[in-house]
Amino acid sequence: MEPTTAHFKAPPPKRKPTAAILAAFCIAAIVGVYGGYWAFAATRAGDVIRSWAEARQAEGLETTFAAMTTGGFPAWIRIDLASVVVARAVGPRPWSWATEKLSLRSRPWDFEHVLFDASGIHRLSLGDASSPRV
At 19 the pLDDT is 87
pLDDT in tens, 66-82: 999 999 999 999 999 99
Residue 77 main-chain phi, psi, to 5 deg: -110, 115
Whether residue 54 contacts residue 48, with contact meaning beta carbons closer than 8 Å, is answered with no
Q: β-strand 110-117 against 77-88: which pairing, if any?
A: unpaired
What is the rounded distance in angstroms from the CA atom of residue 66 to the CA atom of residue 72?
20
pLDDT in tens, 7-64: 778 777 777 778 889 999 999 999 999 999 999 999 999 999 999 999 999 999 999 9
For the chain, the structural domain boundaries read 18-126
pTM comes to 0.76
